[in-house]
Amino acid sequence: GDSVTQMEGPVTLSEEAFLTINCTYTATGYPSLFWYVQYPGEGLQLLLKATKADDKGSNKGFEATYRKETTSFHLEKGSVQVSDSAVYFCALKYGGSNYKLTFGKGTLLTVNP
Amino acid sequence: GAGVSQSPSNKVTEKGKDVELRCDPISGHTALYWYRQRLGQGLEFLIYFQGNSAPDKSGLPSDRFSAERTGESVSTLTIQRTQQEDSAVYLCASSPRGAETQYFGPGTRLLVL
């Protein structure tokens, strides 16, 4: 079945460091790919998405590129801030009638000043 | 506008008791989803509503779990005869018809003693 694997956390970085959180997926078709973020005490929020191969999703300085050849959707940010501390979830979803999100386990990011 | 709300935010119960978890979706959102997140795991899909009907209940882990939705609005997830393995954060999400993005509530943290 479909699955999402993301790097184990926790990840601890200093402010202004470069961030990569790896995400790979297994799917039978061509899903849309998502990164959701959960800030402390808040609900999950969509961070960015990409709906087809080679699409790049971007938001708040974060980027991820849909790589069909490597079945990956790695999240990157050039310079993290303390306010980026959160749990990040990679997820996939098919369009049409197949609507449910399949999530990875989440990666806790802590950014220190 | 108001986001997805869930109640209670925390629930502690004894093994064998029944619990009800409530979700108020964003007004006008026809689709509603329940997910579960157990400690150290990704989010697991439980059930999906389109309007008041549930075309996919495949994620419900056992017949102790049931859910209903009324008035294309509020949904209740009921767990009967709770077990310790039911301890998790239960998340609700909603989306407009045909939309890819799901909007999540803050979750209900359930602890079964």
Distance set, CA A75 to CA A17, A23, A41, A47, B2 (Å): 14, 7, 22, 10, 29
| Cα(B15)–Cα(B46) distance, integer angstroms | 21
pLDDT at B1 (0 to 100): 58
Q: Which residues of A fall within a CB distance of 8 Å from B45?
A: 100-102
| Cα(B20)–Cα(B42) distance, integer angstroms | 22
* B 12-51 near A (Cβ less than 8 A): 31, 33, 35, 40-45, 48
Nearest to B9 by CA among B91, B102, B94, B103: B91
> What's the mean pLDDT when you consider all of chain B?
92
* Facing A105 at nearest CB: one of B41, B91, B106: B41
| DSSP notation for B10-74 | EEEE-TT--EEEEEEPPTT--EEEEEEE-TTS-EEEEEEEETTEEEE-TT--STTEEEEE-TTS-
Residue with tokens 């989010």: B43
Average pLDDT over residues B41-49: 89
| Cα(A77)–Cα(A38) distance, integer angstroms | 16
pLDDT at residue A1 is higher than 80: no
pLDDT at A106 (0 to 100): 93
Find all residues with CB under 8 Å of A109, minimum gap 6, and list them.
A9, A10, A11, A12, A13, A19, A21, A80, A84, A85, A86, A87, A88
pLDDT in tens, B88-107: 999 999 998 877 789 999 99
* Lowest mean pLDDT, pick from A81-90, A98-107, B78-87: A98-107
Report the chain A residue with the minimal C-alpha distance to residue B89: A43
Strand order in the sheet with A56-59: A19-21, A75-77, A62-65, A56-59
Interface touch A101/B102, C-beta < 8 Å: yes
- Count contacts between A and B (CB, < 8 Å): 51
pLDDT at residue A96 is higher than 60: no
pLDDT in tens, A26-78: 988 889 999 999 998 888 899 999 999 999 999 999 999 999 999 999 999 99
pLDDT at A41 (0 to 100): 80
* Facing B107 at nearest CB: one of A43, A89, A91: A43
Bridge partners of B5, per DSSP, are B24
> What's the mean pLDDT when you consider all of chain A?
92
With bands split at pLDDT 50, 70 and 90, how would you rate the model's confidence at B2? confident
What percent of chain B clears pLDDT 70, i.e. is strictly above it?
Answer: 99
| Cα(B62)–Cα(B58) distance, integer angstroms | 10
Whether B80 contacts chain A with CB within 8 A: no
pLDDT at A95 (0 to 100): 62
